[in-house]
Amino acid sequence: MKKILIFGAGRSSIYLIEYLLDHAQEGGWKVVIADINLESAIQRLNGHPSGMAISLDTLNESARKSAINEADLVISLMPPNLHQTIAEDCLEFGKNLLTASYISPNLSVLKEKVMEKGLIFLGEMGLDPGIDHMSAMEKIHDIQSKGGKVVSFKSYTGGLVAPESDDNPWNYKISWNPKNVVLAGQGIAQFLEHGAIRYLPYNRIFKEVSTIQFPELGDREVYANRNSLSYIDLYGLNEAKTVIRGTIRHPGFIEAWDAICSLGFTDDTTPVLIKNGTTYSELTCSFLGIRNKNPRLGFAEFLGINTEHIILDKIEWLGLFSDEKILGFSHDGKLGYTQTTIAEVLQNLMVEKWKLNPSDKDLILMQHEFIYELNGKIKKLYSSLILKGEDHQYTAMAKTVGLPLAIFAKLLMSGLKYEPGIHIPLDKWIYEPVLRELEKNGIQFIETEEELAF
């Protein structure tokens, strides 16, 4: 019997594994769930007869190679740095490989060899990147095939909390990698706006906020995300005057997050010495440069805002003004210092405060805005996805990251004719069948279109 080998049984694997187990009998395959923690793999298998759980350390070369050699298809949910090793083994043993991660420059180098062996390595097959590519490309191809010209493309994604589970002043909970939440926006965002290139560095990224609307949910705020310029070529948008990708947050989140960044609390490059026994309040005061003062008052002065401002309520709720000792930190009796990064201190706090409770539902939002010319008219098309999770395990995040991989795995195992090589899901032969199957699983975009009058 054929085998699908999955590396990683972490929280983004739940829908992926269930889908593949559910279709295993009709498809005639077995699902091998490999994780360094056997318990996690067993839990994901959940006693299903069409699979098996194995303990596997990806860094153990012989165990890894042997598992890959026995598989017919490999799916990697490992951290990006481990994909390369897995990919090289897949090449050696002639196995197809699917991941939700970006294709690294190192991986791209294997392109020719992957083609020669007639294999497919498909990356960026999750939510963002993944569903964003597929849903945007379907519309772009559709517009272009009618003779239309895309003059503006904006695309936003956010992993948030559903309104019914939203019980904190940030209107936010963490459904994905908390480290990425802390480091979001670092570097320089790059995009095209009204024909001009814009570079927006970290110190200003959260100060340029726009508002978008979702049917029924109402307003959300967005900021520009990483490198949108590379999407001009990638998506074939050479006639567009505006190409912007961004991140969605609840109104008010971004300005408060900007305050935390301004204070310096998201730096992960510098080991800082923090005195044992230090409280959050003291730490905040050390960054504000104030002594014997109320940190809320000091922060208000630092930001030049009223002491009753809602930004300060948010920061206070997060715990930065509290007299608690710093979480996840050495507080031994010696009058010493612990070395850490301030980003790690913040992350430890956020993971506690922004935790999804067992019955909490997360929320995935995605919206593309296309402006295009067709037959002398200018039209504006919105394509939006609103997806709520079930609970803290069956999250919309896990569903949207896992199902594209699972569906494409099923297609491959069912004999889909593919173009050999290293791909991301931009082509119709990939996105078309996957989007239709996602729709059947409740991941469906809503479209509204209007003609612009001049």
Strand 51-55: give its sheet, edge to edge.
51-55, 29-35, 2-7, 73-76, 96-99, 120-122, 421-423
Backbone angles phi, psi at 268, to 5 degrees: -115, 15
Site size with its own copies, rule: CB under 8 A: 37
Among 45, 162, 182, 229, binds its own copies (CB under 8 A): 229
User: Does 79 interact with its own copies (rule: CB under 8 A)?
Assistant: no
Q: Which stretch binds its own copies (CB under 8 A): 65-73, 226-234, 311-319, 410-418?
A: 226-234
**Residues ≥6 apart with Cβ < 8 Å to 341:** 267, 268, 269, 270, 271, 272
**Residue bearing tokens 């997050």:** 257
Nearer to its own copies, 215 or 271 (CB): 271
Nearer to its own copies, 55 or 338 (CB): 338
**Residues ≥6 apart with Cβ < 8 Å to 272:** 339, 340, 341, 342
User: Does 453 interact with its own copies (rule: CB under 8 A)?
Assistant: no
Site for its own copies, residues 310 to 369, rule: CB under 8 A: 337, 342
How far apart CA 414 and CA 392 sit, in angstroms, is: 32
Nearer to its own copies, 264 or 442 (CB): 264
Residues 432-438: contacts with CB under 8 Å, at least 24 apart: 432/138, 433/407, 434/134, 434/404, 434/407, 434/408, 435/134, 435/135, 435/138, 437/403, 437/407, 437/410, 438/131, 438/403, 438/404, 438/407
User: Does 227 interact with its own copies (rule: CB under 8 A)?
Assistant: yes
- Least Cα distance to 127 among 402, 410, 356 occurs for 402
Nearer to its own copies, 82 or 188 (CB): 188
User: Does 287 interact with its own copies (rule: CB under 8 A)?
Assistant: yes
User: Does 222 interact with its own copies (rule: CB under 8 A)?
Assistant: no
Q: Which stretch binds its own copies (CB under 8 A): 134-142, 193-201, 239-247, 352-360?
A: 193-201
Among 68, 263, 326, 346, binds its own copies (CB under 8 A): 263
Shortest spacing between CB 276 and its own copies, in angstroms: 12
Nearer to its own copies, 195 or 415 (CB): 195
Nearer to its own copies, 255 or 437 (CB): 255
Shortest spacing between CB 106 and its own copies, in angstroms: 15
Among 60, 108, 203, 414, binds its own copies (CB under 8 A): 203
User: Does 118 interact with its own copies (rule: CB under 8 A)?
Assistant: no
User: Does 190 interact with its own copies (rule: CB under 8 A)?
Assistant: yes
Q: Which stretch binds its own copies (CB under 8 A): 23-31, 64-72, 142-150, 180-188?
A: 180-188
354 Rama sector, left if φ>0, alpha if ψ -120 to 50, beta otherwise: alpha
Site for its own copies, residues 402 to 431, rule: CB under 8 A: none
Among 62, 145, 269, 375, binds its own copies (CB under 8 A): 269
Residues that bind its own copies (CB under 8 A): 186-188, 190, 194-204, 208, 227, 229-230, 262-264, 267, 269-273, 275, 283, 285-287, 289, 291, 337, 342
